[in-house]
Amino acid sequence: MTHGLTSADIEAHWPRPEVRRISVKDLRGVLTAGWRDFKAAPTQLLLLGAIYAVIGLIAARVAFGAKLLPMLYPLVAGLGLVGPFLTVGFCELSRRREHGLPVSWRNVFDVFGSSSVGAIFGLGAVLLGIFVLWVGAAASVYAATFGAAPVTHMDFLGRLFTTPEGWRLVVLGNAVGLLFAVVVLSLTVVAFPVLIDRHVGPFVAVETSLRVMRANPGPMAVWGLIILVALALGSLPLFVGLAVVVPVLGHATWHLYRRTVVWEDARL
Q: Collect contacts of 216-225 with beta carbons under 8 A, ≥24 apart.
A: 216/21, 216/22, 216/260, 218/24, 219/22, 219/23, 219/24, 219/26, 219/27, 220/185, 220/189, 222/24, 222/27, 223/27, 223/185, 223/189, 223/256, 224/181, 224/182, 224/185
pLDDT in tens, 49-80: 666 666 666 666 665 554 566 777 888 888 88
* Cα separation, 184 vs 199, whole angstroms: 22
pLDDT in tens, 89-138: 999 999 999 999 988 878 888 888 888 899 999 999 999 999 999 999 99
Q: What is the pTM of this model?
A: 0.86
25-29, 46-50, 71-75: which is most confident: 25-29
Sketch the domain layout of the chain as residue ranges: 19-262
Could you please report the per-residue DSSP string of 197-216?
HS---HHHHHHHHHHHHHH-
Apex 55 CA angle, 53 and 58, nearest 5: 110
C-alpha separations of 56 from 75, 121, 182, 192, 216 in Å: 8, 22, 22, 23, 32
Can you point out the beta strands (E) in the chain? 18-19, 261-262
